[in-house]
Every structure is written in structure tokens, then in C-alpha cells.
Structure 1
């Protein structure tokens, strides 16, 4: 059973679009972790499991066996992806906030502290993902992306705008969030309600949330989204180069 679980976990975090990845592998790992947490008090093979309670979703944090610093955060319930209405529920903000808290594990895996602007979370669209269980990738953001956001990202919270610079060759809509955490920020709901063109194509939507420093050195976030044929995960740097 242990060998099977490790094999499934490895398959679940293979490269986006890999034909070898079993599209339900991640969900099978999540179920294993949830059972272990509920009956044995252990999160293994996950890093951490938070069991659900009234009004608060459960989640599992998984260390990627493929990349040194990457972690995945996924709910304990079966949720396919960004096109699922449940990810627009206000309670889903807890999932994003837990993913953001996992940035400390990214720093620990690298062996040194990373500033908030160096960390990003990404969710790939249905057409670009390899797994059909909603999951948030947590890792370093590419240095070129970080520099462009520092240079051209909005410094105050406001309406959606098209970022003037391309990121990894693709254009993104961007919105600043003037909050130090994501505890009350419904990321996908903000996209669906604020960008009608995205709401009509949620199965194509890619989402990236990057830590930001706003005006007055206030800690905040940038929410980035597009619906092009390019995975959100491309904005991450799984090698954490130049850090």
C-alpha cells in the first residue's frame, strides 16, 4: 500500500500535460491522507491534513517529490478544477490562505528565507492541467515575473486592468489585493465576478497569485489571470534560481 501511494503521488505531480499521469492519481492520494488523518492521526504521505469542520473546508498539503521546493494544496472533497462552482464559494478563501501559509515550507526546502514577492501560487486551467482534482501549486515565482510586477504592477487596490508587460510571452489581467493574507479573499470569485469574459470560459482560465508589496510598503497580493492556451504554472520557477 505504501509503495502504491508513493507511486500515485509521483504520478500526480508530473509535468503538466504528461500523457503518463493518471488524471485521478492526486485524488487517490488525498483520500489516503484523509483516511490516515481521521483514523490514525497521521497526515502521511501528505505534509499536513486539516479535517473539515462546520463551514470550514478540509485540505491536504502535499510535498512534490519531483521539485525541491514545490508544494500542492488541495481540498479533501472531490473538486475538478476552476470550472467547478464550489471554488467560487467564499469558504474557498481558506484554501488559498492555507496555500499562502505554506510559503514557509518553500523557504525551508530552499534553506533560506524568501520575501513575499518571491512566492506564487498557481492553478492551471482544465485544458492545461494533468490532474482532475483542484490543487494549488506553491513555489517560487520566476525572477523575470517578479521584476515586471515590481515595476508595472498596481500599487493600490482597484479594478482589473490588463498588465502592460507580457509575462513569459502571455498577457494577464491583474488586480491588487490590499490585505496581508487571503483569509477573506475569494480569489476565483473575484475573477468570475469582475471579468465577465472569464466567467464565460472558466474551463480555460489560469490563475496565479503572487505576494506583493504595495504603496507604503503594505503587504498585499497580485491576482493574475488569463484564458490562453498556456499553463499558469509557467510563471513559477521550480528550481528557485537566483534566490
Structure 2
């Protein structure tokens, strides 16, 4: 009896994963769209005309661009000016690589500029998806709003979180979480920190998704999810964000 049930359950899981895989392949037919915008439009336009369009910013000295994403009223993307496919790239673990997460947190002011009103740090989150959980093959950090339920969950965990990694359920999946001070975020890239601190992560960075959000005391929560297809988890830390920015809407 149980044997037949497990066969059915396994079959359903395989079907769901296969469907998700097919959708991902469909999206990835244009997986270089972001890279083409960066390399063929934003950077040349900045170099030739001193105009970053269609990006909002091209910072050649620090090696990144900031661009308004088409999804959501306030979502922006931070991307390298060099070709870096994603979180699995070894170049991100080099001590000479820019700290893209620190730069992305600094770039959150573009959300306020776009909104025309203040955006409290408690409403902001950064994220990057795993190699199999993304649709684009150019490293991009999502700068957007945090889901309201994730904000409440982080606030409830605040007293128990520390500089030590611990497991916690955030929304639909389990994450590894630790706190960072402002200086720690600026000093060490989360990519490097994860590779150095989570056992086995350095050898399989492509399986991880990363998110960063502010805590009430000003520290940052570094949240890491590892892909697990058996649990229908593609390692997409972007799931902690809400691009509609409901967290900024007045409470009824």
C-alpha cells in the first residue's frame, strides 16, 4: 500500500520538477538579455556620451551598473560591468573582486528616488538566486522590498540571532542565518564569507541563494538558502522579496 503511494508521490515530484525545469529553459533562451543591456547599451553610452541610459548608474571605477528592473515599481538590479555569469563564478571569491552586496545596499537610495518618498531600511532587501534558480546569466543582485511576513519573522527572531550561523524557517524554506555589522558587510563580501564559513559551500557555490535585510538594531541579517530539488527548492532567495512593495502601503 505504502509502496504504491510512494511511487505516486515520487511521480508527482518528478513531474513538478520537470515542468519547472522546462519553464526555466524557456526563460533562459534569452539568458543573456541583461548582459547585452550592460555591455552593448549602458557601458558604451556612458563611455561615449557620459549618459548611463538605459541604466540609472554606470560606475566604471568600481565595476558595476545599477538599472531599474521592469518588474515592480521600485526594484533595481546591480550588475558587474564585466561578464560574470552568477554566484558560481570563482572570480567572486577573489580578494580583488568588488563587494557587490555592499554596493547594492548603498544603492538602495534609488528606491527612494523612484518613489519620491523615504523608504525605511526595514522595508529593503537584497537577493541573488542560485545557478539553477535564476533566468539570466549575468550576475545581478535584486534591490527591492522585503515581504511583510518575512519582516515580521525576522523581527520575531531578532533576540535569538547572532554572529553564529543557525537554521530558521523563512516563508516556505529553511535558511541559514547570521547577523553582520555594517562594517562586516563592507569589509567582507557575503560570497567570500559563505565560502569560508559554511561547510562545503566553497565547492558548490552555485547551489546557494543569498539575501540581506536590515534588523531593528541596524545590523544586517545574512540569509542563505541551498538548493534542494526534492523539496521543490531551487535556491531562489528572491522569494523573500515582494516586488509590489506591499510593505510600504498604509495599513488599513
Q: TM-score, normalised by structure 2?
A: 0.80
Contact 2:208–2:226 (Cα < 8 Å) also in 1: yes
Answering whether residue 222 of structure 2 is matched by residue 212 of structure 1, we say no
Structure exhibiting the larger radius of gyration computed from Cα positions: 2
Show structure 1 runs of 5+ residues with no match. 1-15
- Partner residue, 2:90: 85
| Residue deviations 1:33-90 (CA, integer Å, cap 9, x gap) | 11111122110110000013xxxx4111000123211000001011111111111233
Matching residue within 14, 24, 48 for 2:32: 24
Q: How does 1:72-221 map to 2 (within 5 A)?
A: 72-153=77-158, 157-163=162-168, 166-179=169-182, 182-214=185-217, 219-221=218-220
The range that moved more, 147-156 or 31-40, is: 147-156
SS class of match (1:183): helix
SS class of match (2:103): helix
Whichever structure has more helix as a proportion of its residues is 2
Q: Would you say how many aligned residue pairs link Structure 1 and Structure 2? A: 218
Contact 1:79–1:134 (Cα < 8 Å) also in 2: yes
Give 1:201 deviation, angstroms.
2.2
Show structure 2 runs of 5+ residues with no match. 1-22, 228-232
CA separation of 1:100/1:39 partners in 2, compared to 1, >3 Å: closer, same or farther?
Answer: same
CA distance in structure 1 between the partners assigned to 2:57 and 2:93 by the alignment: 24
RMSD of aligned residue pairs (Cα, Å): 2.0
SS class of match (1:90): coil
SS class of match (1:210): strand
